[in-house]
């Protein structure tokens, strides 16, 4: 079959898209969470879904799928499909802040984009994708709870500290932090930001960054530096897992850098097992 290019998908392609997302619900959680709420219309979705389109394609099965929005997320595709996604991405100015998703697709797509979009600020090639849907193997922290909207001023400094430490960039740069504050406020309002407070200080935090009908992806796990090494990360994350699995009936997932041995050990102790491999390219 001869490559015809990447095609913009619309609501008439919903069944085919849903089949791709359902095939690997953990890896596709970030995209599934958007599609389930907004459908495939780009304006409602906050981005575009692209299919690797081949002449003669008409079976209803998508040989490649990529989301283009705040992040560029290739979920499926061989080398030819990734080349078609790169061709479409390079027709416009880069707006995404990262390239993230299954490592084979991310690294293959980055090979096609690096000449125009590089150098990247950082390439994280090996990020174990982990999941669990059973009871936690460590005790949950009973003091970890959803953050209240009135507590955003106490929570926001911890969220910023986590972002700087994890991503290596200031989320307040550019617009004085307005967009990042709005994102944090949205997570708090939806009951997806969790913290342990001691007085008015946050000593542990984590968020459910993406929530599909079957999977919740945990992000932003952070312990205040002077409280590290005391098990707050394990018991706090276990509390968020329990909320997802027991409270919401979802599989809990997360991904972590392979070089972060303490975090990997903590997640495995909680009960997470590796189910895939992610990669991230940071701009």
Q: Which pTM was predicted? A: 0.92
How far, in Å, CA of 74 to CA of 62, rounded?
A: 13
Domain limits for position 18: 6-119
Residue 258 lies in a domain: yes
SS3 190: coil
Residue 124 lies in a domain: no
List pLDDT tens digits, range 6-42. 999 999 999 999 999 999 999 999 999 999 999 999 9
Please report, rounded to a whole number, the percentage of residues in the chain having pLDDT higher than 70.
96
Q: In what order do the strands lie in the sheet with 122-132?
A: 3-8, 48-54, 65-68, 71-76, 98-102, 273-282, 122-132, 251-255, 215-223, 201-211, 193-198, 145-146
Residue 283 lies in a domain: no
Structural domain ending residue among the three candidates 58, 86, 119: 119
Are 39 and 107 members of one domain?
A: yes
List pLDDT tens digits, range 242-263. 999 999 999 999 999 999 999 9
List pLDDT tens digits, range 107-164. 999 999 999 999 999 999 999 999 999 999 999 999 999 999 999 999 999 999 999 9
Residue 166 lies in a domain: yes
List pLDDT tens digits, range 180-234. 999 999 999 999 999 999 999 999 999 999 999 999 999 999 999 999 999 999 9
Quote the number of domains for the chain: 2
């Amino acid at each position: 079959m001869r490559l015809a290019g990447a095609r913009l998908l619309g609501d008439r392609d919903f069944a085919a898209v849903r089949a791709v997302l359902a095939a690997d619900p953990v890896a596709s959680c970030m995209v599934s969470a958007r599609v389930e709420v907004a459908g495939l219309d780009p304006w409602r979705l906050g981005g575009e879904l692209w299919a690797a389109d081949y002449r003669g394609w008409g079976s209803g099965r998508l040989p490649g799928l990529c989301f283009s929005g705040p992040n560029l997320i290739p979920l499926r595709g061989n080398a030819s499909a990734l080349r078609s996604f790169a061709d479409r991405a390079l027709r416009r100015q880069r707006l995404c802040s990262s390239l993230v998703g299954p490592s084979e697709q991310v690294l293959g797509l980055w090979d096609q984009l690096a000449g125009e979009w590089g150098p990247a600020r950082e390439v994280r090639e090996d990020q174990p994708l982990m999941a669990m849907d059973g009871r936690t193997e460590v005790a949950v922290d009973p003091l970890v709870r959803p953050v209240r909207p009135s507590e955003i001023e106490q929570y926001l400094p911890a969220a910023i500290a986590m972002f700087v430490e994890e991503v290596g960039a200031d989320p307040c740069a550019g617009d004085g932090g307005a967009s990042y504050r709005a994102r944090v406020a949205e997570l708090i309002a939806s009951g997806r930001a969790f913290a342990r407070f001691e007085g008015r200080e946050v000593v542990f935090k984590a968020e459910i960054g993406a929530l599909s009908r079957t999977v919740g992806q945990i992000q932003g796990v952070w312990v205040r530096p002077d409280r590290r090494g005391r098990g707050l990360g394990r018991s706090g994350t276990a509390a968020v897992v329990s909320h997802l699995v027991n409270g919401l009936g979802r599989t809990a997932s997360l991904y972590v850098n392979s070089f972060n041995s303490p975090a990997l050990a903590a997640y495995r102790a909680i009960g997470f097992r590796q189910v895939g491999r992610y990669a991230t390219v940071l701009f």
